């Protein structure tokens, strides 16, 4: 999976939660990888503004500024982050699945990770203050929306104006 090839898609989960916990415990007993994060970092009551800043510098280039996901090169893509659990977000940062880089504790401390999680949870629980978010896809979607709807209204109005004298 670390190969520079097209991304392997997620498959149906094959194991029960109990079996997954047992597998994790076994792997944990034979190697020195990161452990399952403490609950205190997953509650989402960290510093949202700081988390947003960290997200914009470390994650937004792949996952989009609001975590809506995005296409990468050669058939790879960064998934949307609006449904993943806090534990999943933390574990993704410490393990770096496929083409995602690893964010070790020297890079982003445990508190920084908790702030990023808080930011992502905040986005889910709060409406977009700027109005319709158009899927949070960014300037292309917004430009297209304005181009089609905005220009459509102007053209429609012009036609209506010009048809009056008849």
Residue 62 or 141 having the CB closest to ligand HEC: 62
Long-range contacts: 58-65, Cβ < 8 Å, 24+? 58/103, 58/108, 58/116, 59/116, 62/100, 64/136, 64/137, 64/138, 65/136, 65/138
Residue 61 or 144 having the CB closest to ligand HEC: 61
Tell me the closest approach of the beta carbon of residue 23 to ligand HEC, in angstroms. 17
Tell me the closest approach of the beta carbon of residue 18 to ligand HEC, in angstroms. 21
Nearest CA to 113 out of 91, 132, 141, 146 is that of: 91
Residues contacting residue 104 through CB under 8 Å, at least 6 positions apart? 94
Residue 62 or 149 having the CB closest to ligand HEC: 62
Q: Report if residue 50 touches ligand HEC, rule: CB under 6 A.
A: no
**Residue that the structure tokens 């020195």 belong to:** 32
Q: Report if residue 89 touches ligand HEC, rule: CB under 6 A.
A: yes
Interface with ligand HEC (CB under 6 A): 10, 58-59, 61-63, 76, 78-79, 81, 84, 88-89, 92-93, 97-101, 103, 116
């Amino acid at each position: 999976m670390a190969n520079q090839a097209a991304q392997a898609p997620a498959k149906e989960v094959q194991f029960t939660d109990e079996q997954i916990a047992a597998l994790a415990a076994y792997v944990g007993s034979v190697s020195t990888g990161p452990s399952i994060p403490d609950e205190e970092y997953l509650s989402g009551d960290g510093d949202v503004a700081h988390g947003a800043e960290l997200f914009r510098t470390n994650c937004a280039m792949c996952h989009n500024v609001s975590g809506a996901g995005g296409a990468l090169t050669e058939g790879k893509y960064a998934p949307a982050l609006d449904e993943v659990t806090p534990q999943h977000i933390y574990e993704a940062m410490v393990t770096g699945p496929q083409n995602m880089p690893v964010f070790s504790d020297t890079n982003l401390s445990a508190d920084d990770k908790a702030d990023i999680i808080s930011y992502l949870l905040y986005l889910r629980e709060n409406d977009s203050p700027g109005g319709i978010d158009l899927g949070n896809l960014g300037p292309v979607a917004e430009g297209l929306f304005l181009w089609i709807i905005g220009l459509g209204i102007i053209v429609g109005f012009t036609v209506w104006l010009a048809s009056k004298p008849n």
